[in-house]
Chains A and B, each alone.
Chain A
Amino acid sequence: MLKAQNRLGLVFFPAFDWAISPTHPEREERLLYTQDQVIEEGLLDIEGIIEYRPRLATTRDVERVHVCVPDVKSRTTESHLIAAGGAMVAAEAVIKGEVDRAFALVRPPGHHAFRIVHGARGFCNINIEAIMLEYIRQQYGPKRVAIVDTDCHHGDGTQDIYWHDKDTLYISIHQDGRTLYPGSGFLHEFGGPNALGYNLNLPLPPGTGEDGFLYALDNFILPVLEEFKPDLIINSAGQDNHYTDPITNMRFSAPGYAKLNDRLKPDIAVLEGGYSIEGALPYTNVGIILAMAGLDYSYVREPDYAPAKVSQPAEITQYIADLCRQALNAWRNREEIAAKLRSGQEKVQRHRRIYYDTEGLLETQTETTLICDACAGLSWIDSCTDQGEHILAVFIPRSSCSRCYEEGYKIFEQTPKQNFTHLYLQDRLKDILLYR
C-alpha cells in the first residue's frame, strides 16, 4: 500500500446542509464532486493521511480577530464557525506534531472578511485563516508566519487584519483588481506604518497561464519567504485561478496547483474560493493533497487538460517578469521606504469605504494608528454603515507596549457613548473583547 512521505492531516467539511442561497456558488453541491473524487481515489486509506473531525470555533475564537457588529451570533451561522473550527483543528494537528502538514478543505471561505464585520462580503463572514492563526498563537506562543494567498481574488480581509502586523507576512497573488472583485490588491498596498513591507500584492493580468503562476512563485514568493524565514507557512488555497472557473479569467490548472504546492511547501493549507465544482475542484484538491503528502501527482490532470488551455501570450510573460522585479525590489527596500514614511509622524489615518456585496451594505471607516517602535501600534476605527450602525472599535495588539495599552483603554473608556451605537475594545493581552 501507499505511504505518504509527509504525514498529512485532512479536515474535510463540505457542509452538505448549508448554502448562502439555493443557486449561489456557495451552495451544498460545491464540494460534492471533490468528495467523490477524494473517496474514489482512496486517499484516506493511504498510510500517513489522517482525517480529523472539525469542531465549532467559539465566540471567543472569533472575537480574538473580529469585531462583529453587533455581536458574533448575529453575523455568523454554525457553518462559518465549523469552517473556522475545522481550520483550527488542522493547524493544531501540525503544531502538536501529530502530522507534518495539514489541509482544511472547508467551506464557506473567509479571506474577504475584515477586522470589523457588518455582514458578508465576497461569500465570507469571518476570516477562517486569521481565526485559526490567532488561536494557534494564543495557545502555543508567538510565531512568525507567512500567509500566501493563491486565490484568484485579492484577500482584502486578510490584508486588513494583518495590515499592522510585522510578524505576519501577507503575500497575495490574484487577478488584477481593475478586472475583478474586490478591486484592490495593488503593489502600493504595502502594509501600515508599523509593518511596512509586510503586505505584498502581485496583481496578475487576466489570462495568466500555468507558467505565469509558477514564475511568480519562483521569482517573487519563494525569494521573499527565504528572507522572511517564517516559522509557519499558511496557504490560502483558493482554486478559482482554474481555466474552467466561471467567475474569473485565469488559466491555471490542477497539475499547476499541485506543482505550486509542492514548491511552496505550506505547513497548513486552507481552502478558499473555487467555483468550477466539476471541472476543476475534484482535480485541484486531489493534486494539492498528493503534493502536500509528498506523493506522486504526475497522473493528476483534468480530463480536458491541454497545453493550449493553460498557455499565456508573450506580453503577459514579460509583464509578469517586470511585476515580480518591482515587487521584489519594494520588499527589499521596505525599511528605507518605512523610515521615509514615518519620519516626524505620531499617528496615521486612513479613510475607506467598504462594500458588502452580499447584503448591499456600505461601511465608511476612519482608522487611526499610533506610530510605535515598541509594538504593532494601537489602532482605533470609527465605522458607520448606511444601515444606521455607528461604532468605535479599539484594537490593542498582541505585542502591545504599555503606552499603547493604556492609551487604548483611555480612548475606550473616555469616548462619550451617546455618539455611537456600540463601543468595543479588543484587548489581545488579556485575550478579551469588551463592549460598552
Chain B
Amino acid sequence: MLVGLDMGGTHTDAVVIRDAKVWRYTKVLTSPHNFLESIQSALKEVLAGIPLDNIRRVNLSTTVSTNAIVEGKTAPVGLVLEPGPGLNPAFLACGRHNYFLSSAIDHRGRETAPLKEEELREAASAFRQRKIGHLAIVGKFSPRNPAHELAAAEYFKKDFPHLTLGHRLSGRLNFPRRVFSAYFNAAVADTYRSFAQAMMSFCSGNKITAPIYILKADGGTLSLETSREMPIETILSGPAASIMGALALAPTNDDAIILDIGGTTTDIAFLAGGAPLLEPQGAFIAGRPTLVRALLTRSLGLGGDSYTRVEGGGLRLGPQRHGPAMALGGPQPTPTDALLTLERINIGDPEAARRAMKLLGLQLGLGVEDVAEQILRQFACQIAVAVESFLKEINSRPVYTVREVLEDKKINPTHAIAIGAPANALAPYLEETLKLPVKVPELAEIANAVGAALSRVTAEISLQADTEQKVLLVPELGLKETIPASFNLATARGRALNLIRERARQMGAYPEQLEEVEITEEQSFNMVRGFWTSGRNIRLKAQIKPGLETIIRR
C-alpha cells in the first residue's frame, strides 16, 4: 500500500493506493495555523483500521517551506558572496547582512583572485554582531570549482552551525539563481527541520514504520531524512502533485495539455510525449528565480470562485476572488453560480445562484441562462488564450545547435486533461475553445493526493570533466577527482551513470530505481590552444528516469 497526502491552502487530501487502485481517500480542512495537525489528522483518518505493516511508503506534499517564505517567517541569513567580474552584484543582497568577497573563479574553474582570510574574518564578526546563525556561501562559477566555497565553509563552521553552500544545491550555472536558492534554503531551515522532527515523532508514536518521502516541485520525491539538508527542494510541490495525479489517472504517450481548475486559479502544464515539461532553469519563489527543479506550470487568475462582474459593457472574470459563490453564501457572482444555474453541478442554493446571474443580466440586458452560458464560454475562452500564448512561448524557446534548428521540434497537444472541482462541468466549453478533446478522469478531485502517493524519487547530477586541467567534478555530490588525459565521452557516460546511482541512494531512491538511470544531456568539446588540441571539455547531465510508481487501473 502506498499513502499520499497533499496539503493545500484550503484542504488536505490523503489517499491509500492498493493494487494500482485508489482504495481509500479523505479530505480534511487545512488548519492555517497548524500544518502539522492538518497532516496528522488526515493521516489518522485515512489509515484508520489499516494494518500499518502493509504500508510501503508515505509521500507528503507540504506547504511548510512555501508558507514560511510567503509569510516572512524565516530566519535571518548572512550571505557570503563571491561575485567576480560581471553584473553589479548589489541586487543579490537579499540577506540580513551581505558580505562581498573580492576573490574570484572563472568559467573554467580557475582561480583568478585568491580568497582572503581578513575578508572572512570581517564577515564573521559582522554576522556575529547581528546575531545571524544561518549563512549561505555562494561563489560565481562555484559548480566549476567549489574550492572557495569549501574553504570559506571550513572557516565559518565552528561559529555558524547552519551553512548552505551554493554548489551543493545544483550543478547548473546561474549565479543569481544559485544565490537566491541558497538564501531560501538557509532561511527556511529552522522551520522545516522542526516540521521534519515533528513528523518523525508522530510516525514513531503511531507505529508508522514505512519510510517517509517529501514531494518536490519536479514531480518527484526525496526522503524526509535528506530533505532536512535541502528544505528548498520541498517548495512548490502542490502543483506538481496535481500534474502527476492527472498523469496517473489519465495516462498518455502523446503531447497534451493539463488543466487544474481550482477556486482561485487554473494551473496550466504540458506533456511532451506523455512526460511533463520542466522549467528550463528552475522555479520562481516569491518572485525570485531559483535553480530548484520544477515542472513547468503557469497559473492563471481564473477559477470557480473568480469575482465576476460587468465592466465597460462586458463581462470580466477574475483575477480576484471575493469569497465563495453566492450559492454558497458568498458576496459576489462567480462562475460556480453560472454552473449551478445551468444545473451542471449540484452544490449550494440554486436560487442564490440565479440571483447572482440576474444581477449581471440586468446590466447586460440578458436573461439568467444566457448570462450563465456567456460566463462559461468566456471562462473557457480565457483558458484557451492563456494555453495558446504559453504554448507559443514554449515552442519558440532558443536552441543552440544546427541539428535542433533543423528539427524544429514543437509541442503539439492532441488532447487536454482537466482536473479540479469544476472540470467536468466545464469540459464541453473547453472542447469548443481549445478545439481539442478534453478528458476528465474519475477521481479528478483528489488527483493531487494520488499524484503524491505515486511519485518516485528524482535526482540529477551534472558531471564536468576538463582533461586539460585533469579534473572531474560533480558539484551535487561534492565530488572532485583527478582524471587522465585519455578520459573521454564514453568513460564519462559510464562514470555519470554510476554517480547518479550514488546520488539516488542519497536521496532515498527505491532499489529498483537504481537501474532506471539515464544521460539527459551530453556535450564534448575539443579545446584547441594554438594549433593543437589541448584537451576535452565534457559536460553531462544524468538523472533517475522520472515517472510514476504505477498508473491507476479502473
B85 touches A16 (CB 8 A): no
Instruction: Say whether B140 contacts A22, CB under 8 Å.
Output: no
Chain B contacts for A29, CB-based, 8 A: 525-528, 537
Q: Does A1 contact B (CB under 8 A)?
A: yes
Q: A34-57: contact bitstring with B at CB < 8 Å (1 yes, 0 no)?
A: 011101111101000001111110
Which of B91, B177, B396, B400 is A16 in contact with, Cβ under 8 Å? B400
Residues in chain A near residue B523, CB distance under 8 A: 16
B112: nearest residue on chain A (CB-CB)? A303
Stretch at the interface among A237-245, A290-298, A361-369, A418-426: A290-298
Contact A28/B85 with A41-B175, A52-B396 known, Cβ cut-off 8 Å: no
Number of A residues, CB within 8 Å of B: 51
**Distance (whole angstroms) from the CB of A59 to the closest CB of chain B:** 15
Complex: A11 Cα to B281 Cα, angstroms? 18
Question: Could you tell me if A23 and B533 are in contact, using CB atoms closer than 8 angstroms?
Answer: yes
Distance from B537 Cβ to chain A, minimum over Cβ atoms (Å): 7
Stretch touching chain A among B17-25, B102-110, B338-346 = B102-110
Interface centre among B85, B88, B399, B537 (most CB of A within 10 A): B85
The CB with the most chain A CB atoms within 10 A, among B176, B399, B405, B526, is that of B405
In the complex, B87 has a CB within 8 A of chain A: yes
Chain B residues with CB under 8 Å of A56's CB are 405-406
Within A79-134, the residues touching B (CB, 8 Å) are 79, 82
Q: What is the CA–CA distance of A16 and B400 in the complex, to the nearest angstrom?
A: 6
Tell me, in angstroms, the Cα distance from A283 to B87 when the chains sit together: 11
Within the complex, what minimum Cβ distance (angstroms) separates B166 from chain A? 11
- Would A13 and B400 count as touching, CB distance under 8 A? yes
User: Which residues of B from 69 to 93 have beta carbons under 8 Å from A?
Assistant: 83-89, 91
- With A and B bound together, what is the CA distance between A27 and B533 in angstroms? 12
When chains A and B are docked, how far (Å) is the Cα of A29 from the Cα of B539?
13
CB-based contact A282/B107 at 8 Å:
yes
- Contacting residues, chain A, for B104 (C-beta < 8 A): 303
The answer on a CB contact under 8 Å between B402 and A39 is no
User: Which of B85, B399, B406, B525 is in CB contact (< 8 Å) with A303?
Assistant: B85
A37 touches B107 (CB 8 A): yes
Identify the closest chain B residue to A54 (Cβ): B405
Q: Does A15 contact B (CB under 8 A)?
A: yes
Are A18 and B402 CB-contacts (below 8 A) given A36-B107, A40-B175, A53-B396?
yes
User: When the two chains form the complex, which single residue of B85, B88, B531 contacts A296, counting CB atoms closer than 8 Å?
Assistant: B88
Contacts of B85 in A (CB 8 A): 283, 299-303
Query: Could you say which residues of chain A place their CB within 8 Å of the CB of B403?
Result: 17
Query: For the complex, what is the distance from the CA of A286 to the CA of B88, rounded to whole Å?
Result: 12
A323 is an interface residue with CB less than 8 A from chain B: no
Q: Is the CB of B86 within 8 A of A300?
A: yes
Min CB–CB distance A7 → chain B (angstroms): 16
Structural contact, B141 and A40, CB atoms closer than 8 A: yes
Q: Does A316 contact B (CB under 8 A)?
A: no
A52 to B397, CA, bound (A): 7
Taking CB atoms, residues of chain A closer than 8 Å to B87 are: 2, 41-43, 286, 290, 295-296, 299
For the complex, what is the distance from the CA of A1 to the CA of B402, rounded to whole Å?
33
Q: Is the CB of A82 within 8 A of B140?
A: no
User: With an 8 A cutoff between CB atoms, is B365 at the interface?
Assistant: no
Rounded to whole angstroms, the CA-CA distance of A298 and B84 in the bound complex is 12
| Residues 265-296 of chain A, each 1 if its beta carbon lies under 8 Å from chain B, else 0 | 00000000000001000110010001000011
A41 to B281 alpha-carbon distance, docked (Å): 13
| Set B402, B530, B537: member contacting A82, Cβ < 8 A | B402
- From A15, A22, A53, A302, B397 is in contact (CB under 8 Å) with A53
Assembled-state Cα–Cα distance A278/B288 (Å): 30
What is the CA–CA distance of A77 and B91 in the complex, to the nearest angstrom? 43
Known contacts A36-B107, A283-B85, A299-B85; A1/B399 CB under 8 A: no
Query: Which residue in chain B gives the minimum CB-CB distance to A36?
Result: B107
Q: Is the CB of B287 within 8 A of A298?
A: no
In the complex, the answer to whether A278 meets B108 with C-beta atoms within 8 Å is yes
Is A23 a contact partner of B528 (Cβ separation < 8 A)?
yes
B532 proximity list for chain A (CB < 8 A): 23
- Return the chain B residue nearest A19 by Cβ: B526
B305-335: contact bitstring with A at CB < 8 Å (1 yes, 0 no)? 0000000000000000000000000000000
Contact bitstring A370-413, B, C-beta under 8 A = 1, else 0: 00000000000000000000000000000000000000000000
Q: Is the CB of A27 within 8 A of B397?
A: no
Whether A15 contacts B528 in the complex (CB less than 8 A), given A32-B537, A45-B289, comes out as no
Q: Decide if A12 is an interface residue (CB 8 Å cutoff).
A: yes
Q: Do B86 and A37 touch (CB < 8 A)?
A: yes
Known: A27-B528, A29-B526, A296-B88. A40 touches B174 (CB 8 A): yes
Interface size on B, residues (CB 8 A): 45
Residues of chain A with a CB closer than 8 A to B425's CB: none
| A51-B107 contact in complex given A27-B526, A45-B176, C-beta closer than 8 Å | no
- Does A203 interact with chain B (Cβ within 8 Å)? no
Q: Determine how close the nearest CB of chain A comes to the CB of B177; give it in whole angstroms.
A: 6
Q: Is B250 an interface residue (CB 8 A)?
A: no
Which residues of B have CB within 8 Å of A13? 400, 405
Q: How far is the CA of A426 from the CA of B173 in the complex (A)?
A: 48
Residue among A33, A53, A283 with most chain B CB within 10 A: A53
Q: Which residues of B contact A35 (CB under 8 A)?
A: 400
A14 at the interface (CB under 8 A from B): yes
Chain A residue contacts of B84, Cβ below 8 A? 303
Least distance between A345 CB and chain B CB atoms (Å): 48
The reply to whether B533 and A22 form a contact with Cβ atoms under 8 Å apart is yes
B491 interface residue (CB < 8 Å to A): no
Q: A15: which of B173, B174, B176, B402 is its contact (CB, 8 Å)?
A: B402
- Contact with A1, one of B288, B396, B530 (Cβ below 8 angstroms): B288
**Would you call A52 and B398 a contact (CB within 8 A)?**
yes
The chain B residue with its CB closest to the CB of A15 is: B402
Q: Which of B112, B113, B176, B402 contacts A17 (CB 8 A)?
A: B402
Q: Is there a chain B Cβ closer than 8 Å to A71's Cβ?
A: no
Decide: A12 and B398 in contact? CB cutoff 8 A: yes
Q: Whole-angstrom distance between the alpha carbons of A78 and B112 in the complex?
A: 38
Q: Which residues of A have CB within 8 Å of B396?
A: 52-53
Q: How far is the CB of A281 from chain B (nearest CB, A)?
A: 10
Least CB distance, B119 to chain A, in whole angstroms = 17
A286 touches B173 (CB 8 A): no
Q: Give the most central of A16, A56, A78, A296: most B CB within 10 Å.
A: A16
Interfacial residues of chain B within 82-141, with CB under 8 A of chain A in the complex? 83-89, 91, 104, 106-108, 112-113, 140-141
Question: How many Å from the CB of A310 to the closest CB on chain B?
Answer: 15
Chain A: CB-nearest residue to B280: A44
Partner of B107, one of A2, A22, A278: A278
Which residues on B sit within 8 Å (CB–CB) of A52?
Answer: 396, 398
B408 to chain A, nearest CB (A): 9
- What is the distance, in angstroms, from A90's C-beta to the closest C-beta of chain B? 12
Asked if B204 CB lies within 8 Å of chain A CBs, one says no
CA distance A32 to B527 in the complex (A): 10
The distance in angstroms between the C-alpha atoms of A27 and B531, with both chains bound, is 12
CA distance A199 to B361 in the complex (A): 69
Asked if B486 is at the interface (CB within 8 A of a chain A CB), the reply is no
The yes or no answer to B206 lying at the interface (CB within 8 A) is no
Q: Counting CB contacts under 8 A, is B253 at the interface? A: no
Shortest beta-carbon distance, B382 to chain A, in Å? 24
A77 contact set on B, CB distance < 8 A: 402
Quick check: B177 and A42 within 8 Å, CB to CB? Answer: yes
7 extra interface residue pairs, beta carbon distance < 8 Å, beyond A15-B400, A23-B531, A53-B398: A14-B400, A22-B533, A36-B107, A42-B87, A45-B289, A295-B87, A303-B84
Q: Which 8 A-B pairs have the closest CB atoms?
A: A303-B112, A42-B176, A296-B88, A40-B173, A36-B107, A17-B401, A29-B525, A39-B173
- In the assembled complex, 18 residue pairs joining A and B whose CB atoms fall closer than 8 Å, in A order, are A2-B91, A12-B400, A16-B401, A17-B402, A33-B107, A36-B107, A41-B87, A42-B87, A42-B176, A45-B176, A278-B106, A282-B107, A295-B88, A299-B83, A299-B86, A303-B112, A303-B113, A304-B112
Residues of A within 8 A of B (CB): 1-2, 11-18, 22-23, 27-29, 32-33, 35-37, 39-43, 45, 51-56, 77-79, 82, 246, 278, 282-283, 286, 290, 295-296, 298-304
